[in-house]
């Protein structure tokens, strides 16, 4: 008989924390119990410590070549996942038992008096439709033939006696991946052989074509590549600091999409600007000959409560020039070139009051850029009294360059491409 208890560290009788802190493989789990006033511990019938879950087992319960009896204990926060792992581990160990595939169950007594027997290796009952499986795979098999295929995939199956289309399936404990009828269909297809499935044309014919926004991006890519600039493809995820603090921007928590459980600090948010990725590219290639001329046309993501998924992708174009001189006139000319290709005229100062279609630059104060060296791009689409702020261009602030470890001055440009899309039906409409 074993006991699973909680005790204060002094009562456990093992000096474990100092050892665990020095073990790099164990120290990462120490935070789970470090600040707890009591620690979970397993005792055997002689009050000998067996394990200090979820950190370490005791030397007393260590497995060696002479071990003949194995007690399997698992600790988890999710009872469903715990049962799945326990079943699979027990079945794998059972293969090597003296009597193969035998497991001695354990009776658990809970604090409320409830008793359960583990592991629960009973199978789960599911049903599948022969018609559904045939329609998905393109074959014409009877329920009996499909049952034979499923048996080859470790599933006990037989046709229903009351419904010729229904297949009764028993899912064993070691197949937690079988969740829905489509999983049963997939197993039947694997057993039949994917290469043996009939190849047929779809019942509906469609002709693929580019999205309008992709065609527009191709115009930008082509012209900027002709101008001698290099296209780069940074990742759409970045750290929160790269997206805001390093760019001298503040997070108002209304736009950025944050990852709930990021794998690392480098991938915390979905970018709201293309410039951090371009600046990281310049940083990693600063040993290359100057000037460094890079650009990107891709999506940023912002929050949008009106959208189905409460987020929205926006297609942007951005470019960074890095040289011994700032080169503001270079990015200015690059932007003018793409406006000329899109047939959008520049609005002269004397026509700003009357012109309804075109673009012009308006000086702004943006902490990302050097004071007095930044401008917003204002676009008039032709509609009455409609002005859109497309983006910005200017010379990057020295603190931004320092944050990205770039030793040379840089000029940058970023603007929204979507207002230049011509009105009309989408390809699928």
Burial 59-76 (b: 16+ CB within 10 A, else e): eebeeeeeeeeeeeeeee
Cα separation of 19 and 313, whole Å?
Answer: 49
Q: Is 265 helix (H, G, I), strand (E, B) or coil?
A: coil
Residue 388, both tokens: 């859109």
| pTM for the structure as a whole | 0.59
Q: How many CA atoms lie within 13 A of 283 on its CB side?
A: 15
Going by the DSSP 8-state scheme, the letter that residue 195 receives in this structure is G
What pLDDT sits at residue 275? 92
Q: Which of 328, 341, 383 is nearest to 218 (CA)?
A: 341
What pLDDT sits at residue 387? 82
Cα separation of 53 and 76, whole Å?
Answer: 9
Contact 51, 73 (CB under 8 A): yes
Contact 230, 319 (CB under 8 A): no
Query: DSSP labels for 326-353?
Result: --HHHHHHHHHHHHHHTT-PBPPGGGTT
Bridge partners (DSSP) listed for residue 257: 270
| Whether residue 119 has a cis bond before it, omega within 30° of 0 | yes
Cα separation of 400 and 409, whole Å?
Answer: 10
Q: Give the number of other CB atoms < 10 A from CB of residue 132.
A: 15
What pLDDT sits at residue 19? 54
Extended beta strands in 193-276, E state = 230-231, 237-238, 257-258, 269-270
Q: Which of 81, 13, 84 is nearest to 44 (CA)?
A: 13
Going by the DSSP 8-state scheme, the letter that residue 298 receives in this structure is E
Q: Is 409 helix (H, G, I), strand (E, B) or coil?
A: coil
What pLDDT sits at residue 117? 87
275: left (phi over 0), alpha (psi -120 to 50) or beta: alpha
Q: Which of 153, 159, 193 is nearest to 177 (CA)?
A: 153
Which portions of the chain are predicted below pLDDT 50? 14, 424, 428
What pLDDT sits at residue 166? 92
What pLDDT sits at residue 213? 87
Contact 321, 293 (CB under 8 A): yes
Q: Give the number of other CB atoms < 10 A from CB of residue 301.
A: 18
Cα separation of 162 and 123, whole Å?
Answer: 22
């Amino acid at each position: 008989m074993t006991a699973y208890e909680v005790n204060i560290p002094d009562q456990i009788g093992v000096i474990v924390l100092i050892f665990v802190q020095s073990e790099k493989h164990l120290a990462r789990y120490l935070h789970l119990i470090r600040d707890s006033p009591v620690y979970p511990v397993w005792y055997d019938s002689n009050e000998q410590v067996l394990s200090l879950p979820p950190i370490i087992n005791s030397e007393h319960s260590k497995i060696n070549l002479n071990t003949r009896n194995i007690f399997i204990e698992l600790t988890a926060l999710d009872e469903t996942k715990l049962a799945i792992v326990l079943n699979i581990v027990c079945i794998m160990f059972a293969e090597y038992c003296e009597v193969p595939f035998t497991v001695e169950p354990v009776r658990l007594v809970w604090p409320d008096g409830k008793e359960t027997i583990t592991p629960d290796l009973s199978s789960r009952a599911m049903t599948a439709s022969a018609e559904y499986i045939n329609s998905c795979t393109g074959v014409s098999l009877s329920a009996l033939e499909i049952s034979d295929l499923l048996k080859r995939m470790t599933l006990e199956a037989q046709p229903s006696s009351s419904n010729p289309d229904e297949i009764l399936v028993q899912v064993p404990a070691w197949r937690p991946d079988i969740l829905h009828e489509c999983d049963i269909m997939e197993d039947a297809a694997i057993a039949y052989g994917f290469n043996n499935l009939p190849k047929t044309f779809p019942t509906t014919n469609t002709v693929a074509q580019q999205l309008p926004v992709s065609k527009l991006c191709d115009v930008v890519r082509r012209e900027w590549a002709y101008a001698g600039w290099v296209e780069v493809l940074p990742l759409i995820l970045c750290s929160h600091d790269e997206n805001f603090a390093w760019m001298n921007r503040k997070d108002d928590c209304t736009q950025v999409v944050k990852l709930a459980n990021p794998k690392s600090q480098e991938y915390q948010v979905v970018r709201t600007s293309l410039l951090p990725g371009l600046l990281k590219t310049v940083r990693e290639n600063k040993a290359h000959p100057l000037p460094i001329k890079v650009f990107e046309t891709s999506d940023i993501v912002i929050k949008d409560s009106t959208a189905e998924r409460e987020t929205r992708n926006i297609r942007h174009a951005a470019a960074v020039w890095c040289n011994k001189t700032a080169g503001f006139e270079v990015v200015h000319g690059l932007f003018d070139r793409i406006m000329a290709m899109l047939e959008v005229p520049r609005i002269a100062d004397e026509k700003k009051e009357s012109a309804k279609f075109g673009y012009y630059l308006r000086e702004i104060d943006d902490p990302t850029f050097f004071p007095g060296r930044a401008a917003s791009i204002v676009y008039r689409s032709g509609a009455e009294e409609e002005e859109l702020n497309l983006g910005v261009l200017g010379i990057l602030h020295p603190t931004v360059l320092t944050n990205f470890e770039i030793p040379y001055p840089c000029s940058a440009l970023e603007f929204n491409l979507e207002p230049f899309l011509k009105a009309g039906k989408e390809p699928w409409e």
